[in-house]
Amino acid sequence: MIKHLFTIIWNQRKRNIWILTELMLISVCLWYVIDYMSVLSTIVRTPLGFDIADTYRVDIKERTPESDGYIDPETKETTTGADLLTIMERIRQYPSVEEVSMSIGSQPYASTGYTSQVYYSRLFYKDTVGVTMQRYKVTPSFFRVFRIERESGNGPALADALDVHSIILSANGAEELLPGESATGKSLQIGKDGYFKEVKALCIPIRWTEYEKSRPCYYSLLSEDEIAGELGSGNLENMELCIRIRPDAAARFSEDFRRDMGAQLSVGNLYLMDVRSSSLIREAIVSPVGSDIRMRLNLLIFLSINIFLGISGTFWFRTQHRWGEMGLRVALGSTRHGLRALLIGEGLVMLALAMLPAVVISFNLGIAELVNLNWADFTAVRFLTGIALTGLLMALMIISGILYPAWRAVRMKPAEALRYE
């Protein structure tokens, strides 16, 4: 049967070469479409690693010398950092607030590749080459504000595990730095000539946004002594003062907070500038990316429809053009089922021949990083899944283009078939 199909394809090679070329090019295009959509559907369903519901960022500014109420630093008895800690404690006492945290380059959606608030360090274990990871510097309450959970296993809560001598490592960071080993309890070197800190616990992988894969990271302590002693006018804007509120207070929280706390949060030269929902910060980061993705999806869907119509139409026309041949086969004794199987088999063999170079081209596109790598790494599973779905959809398109004209042909009366011939 297979040999007979190859013989038919070879005998019609002048016509089939164009169909094979079309199938090859369209298979590559369809693979790219399927790869993009499948990876996108996977990444948007992957947990972010944090929860921004009912969280806000409190923006604190410092008065300039020209402002009313400005206090000369030489006459001030407290540092800028100490004033900020006072503000933090007063916010914690506000009835609607559940938890308050301070951080640098750590707030979700505010420390991403789209902003300048991203810090990296290279971590080493013994004589390893080292892995570059994103550094999040936080107070322990940060894990409670954004509900970041530890990786499965027993041990202290993340907020209790973080101290001046330890770090919290992400699970994917631990896997990359210590493959096959347990990272908890290990001492890691921060920087080639840096200090050592113990891994007290592992947290779940953290992602920048819904449209980014998780990256290796670690959390180090931002202590109150560091805030009070090192914070000044030059780095105040880097501080992220974040809060989690009670769900029942979310309706008018921003307005009520500004009204109730505006005067209380005026400490030294610091004052309350604004309080913003984390969802607004998320929208500013995600919205442009989402718009671009929606535009790409519309184009890819349009391309997919055209691919379906093109492939189905090609085999519809090809099958209908061979009515005389099919009618003669019926007249000579071919069964209807056998003729349909012959036509479908011929189309699938042509698809298999076209898919061989298409697989090579698609693989090279992935190796050349011409596919989206921000969502997922180009792995064998990703590639083979895309190829399998491409082959399946192409087969369905070919079968849909063959079935109806083949159904009409096999119902042809022998006398009419001989007249065609």
Report pLDDT digits (tens) over 22-32. Answer: 889 999 999 99
pLDDT of residue 251: 81
230 and 111 within one domain: yes
Total tally of structural domains belonging to the chain: 2
87 and 229 within one domain: yes
* pTM, entire model: 0.84
179 and 302 within one domain: no
Angle at 396 (CA atoms; ends 392, 402), nearest 5 degrees: 145
Query: Average pLDDT for consecutive 10-residue bins of the chain (421 residues)?
Result: 63 76 91 92 92 95 86 84 94 95 94 81 86 95 95 82 94 93 92 89 94 94 91 85 92 90 91 93 90 89 87 75 63 65 80 93 93 90 94 89 71 59 52
With beta carbons less than 8 A apart as the criterion, state whether 21 and 245 touch. no
Domain assignment present for residue 278? The answer is: no
Task: Name the residue range of residue 8's domain.
Answer: 2-46+287-420
236 and 90 within one domain: yes
pLDDT of residue 103: 95
Domain assignment present for residue 65? The answer is: no
**Domain limit, last residue, from 239, 268, 297:** 268
143 and 214 within one domain: yes
**Domain limit, last residue, from 211, 235, 268:** 268
124 and 14 within one domain: no
pLDDT of residue 321: 66
343 and 261 within one domain: no
φ/ψ (deg, to 5) at 56: -140, 160
304 and 199 within one domain: no
What is the C-alpha to C-alpha distance for residues 135 and 137, in angstroms, rounded to an integer?
6
Domain assignment present for residue 388? The answer is: yes
pLDDT of residue 98: 95
Domain assignment present for residue 227? The answer is: yes
Domain assignment present for residue 203? The answer is: yes
Domain assignment present for residue 98? The answer is: yes
pLDDT of residue 310: 83
**Domain limit, last residue, from 219, 240, 268:** 268
Domain assignment present for residue 217? The answer is: yes
221 and 130 within one domain: yes
pLDDT of residue 307: 87
293 and 167 within one domain: no
**Could you tell me the end-to-end alpha-carbon distance of the chain, in angstroms, rounded to an integer?**
24
408 and 293 within one domain: yes
pLDDT of residue 31: 94
What are 201's strand-pairing partners?
Answer: 168
Nearest residue to 199 via CA among 180, 171, 227: 171
Name the E strands within 193-331: 196-203, 217-221, 239-245, 270-277
Domain assignment present for residue 351? The answer is: yes
264 and 293 within one domain: no
